């Protein structure tokens, strides 16, 4: 089979590499010529475990190609995936300009039946806009009868575990209307079916909605447990005990019930906002989801507020070490990361901030340059720090030598924004632990 994937970001590159791994001929396309040039030279523009090897292997096997032009491959592909970004617009709705641009490119180049599959996360009803855009371009080209079809195939991979998620997902959701399109998608996903996972076919609107409902549900669990954690602190309860006990109920389950310093990343914040906006547009206010977002905005400031209280409202001249910048471990993605919120507030309050992250240092430099000092590891970051704040639960941060940390620091407080440390370990070294909801 021969497919093109337009948009070579986290989703496009991982999808392309994984499809080519099972034998599909894939061309990954992007308008960012510099990115395509780097990929052609064998450089991987993002950090994702296992991705570099996968790309290298499939490029060498001649199954994975990179291009800046859909026109170049249009005559050989049966399916064109759209995996471009859908960032938040000013009013919170999803910005569909990139998706519609891909639809126009598609309409400009196809010359026989081709399937247009939207993998980008798009609001319910977007397929109608895409359809209109393609039809318009075909009309302008004077070939309005060129057959094409749309499908919605939202992506559920998690950054940091993207390859595993793609190769053996919990489910594949495909919204499609015709039998012909369905057979094509079944053929493409058959190699993955051997692992016994489920492909769920449905109508296009339901597939589009499924992605938002899934992300909103996960975000809800996080905001829910964060709110419970905040109340635990006030009433002297331990959220860890509470979380474990409610998670033991099979109806609730323990996943995604970890309190912390708020969710970030490229998906939850924008998808939650877009769902709220879709509700507004349809006269159906999303009250639960609106509260989820408000709770999260508040939670992203929790570490800063704890530091502010610790130093009696005066952070001027204090040195704060930040352990972890990425919005979660195993990625260099800092989009909407709580670290940015905490750093901005600390700098505004006059503190000196020393940061360390195993992979997101370059990304941090790109975003905030010399607003902070860059350390070579967690111990270096802790030098002369009045307090340390852990914001990303990287594995290598789990068991630091507290004796070394204590010697390096000027102060003695560790704020654990991810609840991974135990008081006793720190106290043995003269350090004080402040965590979330305990
Ligand atoms: N990142 C994730 O974990 C994740 C998970 C599931 C779904 N999604 C969704 O997938 C979509 C893509 O997300 P991402 O994180 O991969 O985005 P990204 O920003 O990493 O990549 C998008 C790519 O599209 C390219 N692009 C933009 N317009 C283009 C055009 N007209 N033609 C060709 N290329 C174009 C950009 O240059 C960029 O390289 C989004 O809708 C996102 O919500 C993301």
What does each C-alpha distance from 103 to 2, 89, 150, 274 come to in angstroms?
19, 19, 10, 21
8 A C-beta contact, residue 315 and residue 302: no
Structural domains of the chain sorted by starting position, each given as residue range(s) with its CATH number in brackets? 2-202 (3.40.50.720), 212-299 (3.40.50.720), 302-434 (3.40.50.720)
The answer to whether the Cα torsion of 274, 210, 177, 101 is positive or negative is: positive
Residue 245: per-residue pLDDT:
98
Say yes or no to pLDDT of 198 above 90: no
Residue 186: per-residue pLDDT:
94
Give residue 338's pLDDT band: very low, low, confident or very high (50, 70, 90): very high
- pLDDT averaged over the chain? 97
Query: Ligand 1 within 6 A of 10 CB?
Result: yes
Give residue 383's pLDDT band: very low, low, confident or very high (50, 70, 90): very high
Atom from ligand 1 closest to the CA of residue 120: 41
Question: For 312-335, what is each residue's pLDDT tens digit?
Answer: 999 999 999 999 999 999 999 999
Residue 194: per-residue pLDDT:
75
Say yes or no to pLDDT of 241 above 90: yes
Ligand 1 centroid to Cα of residue 334, in Å, is 15
Percent residues over pLDDT 90 in the chain: 96
How many Å apart are CA 404 and CA 400, to the nearest integer? 8
Nearest CA, atom 7, ligand 1: 155
Query: Ligand 1 within 6 A of 8 CB?
Result: yes
Ligand 1 centroid to Cα of residue 86, in Å, is 7
Say yes or no to pLDDT of 164 above 90: yes
Atom from ligand 1 closest to the CA of residue 32: 37
Residue 193: per-residue pLDDT:
75
Name the helix (H) or strand (E) containing 416. Answer: strand 413-416
Query: Ligand 1 within 6 A of 28 CB?
Result: no
Query: Ligand 1 within 6 A of 103 CB?
Result: no
Ligand 1 centroid to Cα of residue 8, in Å, is 7
Counting ligand 1 atoms within 8 A of each CB, the residue from 17, 36, 266 with the most, and so the one to mutate, is 266
Question: For 60-117, what is each residue's pLDDT tens digit?
Answer: 999 999 999 999 999 999 999 999 999 999 898 999 999 999 999 999 999 999 999 9
What are phi and psi for residue 79, nearest 5 degrees?
Answer: -135, 135
Catalytic residues: 267
Residues 209-241 as b or e (16 or more Cβ within 10 Å = b):
bbbbebbbebbbbbbbbbbbbbebbeeeeebbe
Atom from ligand 1 closest to the CA of residue 156: 6
Query: Ligand 1 within 6 A of 83 CB?
Result: yes
Q: What is the mean pLDDT of residues 133-150?
A: 98
Query: Ligand 1 within 6 A of 31 CB?
Result: yes
Counting ligand 1 atoms within 8 A of each CB, the residue from 105, 155, 208, 270 with the most, and so the one to mutate, is 155
Name the helix (H) or strand (E) containing 174. Answer: strand 171-176
Query: Ligand 1 within 6 A of 13 CB?
Result: no
Residue 192: per-residue pLDDT:
83
Counting ligand 1 atoms within 8 A of each CB, the residue from 9, 94, 159 with the most, and so the one to mutate, is 9
Place of tokens 């509470």: 242
How many Å apart are CA 286 and CA 75, to the nearest integer? 44
Q: What is the mean pLDDT of residues 215-243?
A: 98
How many Å apart are CA 107 and CA 409, to the nearest integer? 61
- What residues are paired with 2 via a beta bridge? 25
Say yes or no to pLDDT of 196 above 80: no
Query: Ligand 1 within 6 A of 84 CB?
Result: yes
Residue 90: per-residue pLDDT:
87
User: Count of residues for the chain?
Assistant: 438
* Cβ atoms < 10 Å from Cβ of 46: 19
Q: What is the mean pLDDT of residues 18-45?
A: 97
């Amino acid at each position: 089979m021969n497919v093109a994937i337009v948009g070579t970001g986290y989703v496009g590159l991982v999808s392309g590499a994984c499809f080519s791994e099972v034998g599909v001929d894939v061309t990954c396309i992007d308008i960012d010529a510099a990115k395509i040039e780097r990929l052609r030279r064998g450089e991987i523009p993002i950090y994702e475990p296992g991705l570099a090897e996968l790309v290298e292997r499939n490029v060498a096997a001649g199954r994975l190609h990179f291009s800046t032009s859909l026109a170049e491959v249009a005559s050989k592909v049966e399916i064109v995936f759209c995996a471009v970004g859908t960032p938040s617009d000013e009013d919170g709705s999803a910005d569909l300009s990139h998706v519609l641009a891909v639809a126009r490119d598609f309409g400009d180049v196809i010359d026989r039946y081709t399937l247009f599959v939207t993998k980008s996360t798009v609001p319910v009803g977007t397929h109608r806009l895409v359809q209109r855009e393609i039809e318009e371009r075909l009309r302008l080209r004077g070939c309005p009868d060129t057959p094409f079809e749309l499908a919605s195939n939202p992506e559920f991979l998690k950054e940091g575990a993207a390859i595993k998620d793609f190769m053996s997902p919990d489910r594949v959701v495909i919204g499609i209307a015709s039998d012909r399109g369905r057979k094509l998608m079944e053929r493409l996903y058959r190699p993955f079916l051997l692992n016994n996972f489920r492909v769920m076919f449905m109508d296009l609107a339901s597939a589009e909605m499924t992605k938002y409902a899934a992300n909103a549900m996960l975000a809800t669990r996080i905001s829910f447990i964060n709110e419970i954690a905040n109340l635990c602190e006030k009433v002297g309860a331990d959220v860890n005990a509470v979380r474990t006990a409610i998670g033991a109920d099979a109806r609730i389950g323990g996943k995604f019930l970890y309190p912390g310093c708020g969710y970030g990343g490229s998906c939850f914040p924008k998808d939650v906002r877009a769902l709220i906006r879709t509700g507004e547009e349809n006269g159906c206010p999303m009250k639960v989801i609106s509260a989820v977002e408000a709770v999260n905005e508040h939670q992203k400031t929790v570490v800063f507020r704890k530091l502010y209280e610790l130093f009696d409202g005066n952070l001027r001249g204090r040195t704060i070490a930040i352990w972890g910048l990425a919005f979660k471990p195993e990625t260099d993605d800092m989009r909407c990361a709580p670290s940015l919120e905490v750093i901005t507030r600390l700098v505004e309050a006059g503190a000196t901030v020393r940061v360390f992250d195993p992979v997101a240092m370059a990304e941090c430099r790109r975003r905030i340059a010399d607003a902070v000092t860059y350390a070579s590891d967690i111990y270096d970051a802790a030098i002369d720090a009045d307090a340390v704040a852990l914001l990303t639960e990287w594995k290598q941060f789990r068991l630091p030598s507290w004796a070394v940390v204590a010697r390096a620091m000027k102060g003695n407080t560790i704020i654990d924004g991810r609840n991974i440390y135990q008081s006793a370990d720190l106290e043995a070294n003269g350090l004080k632990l402040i965590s979330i909801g305990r």
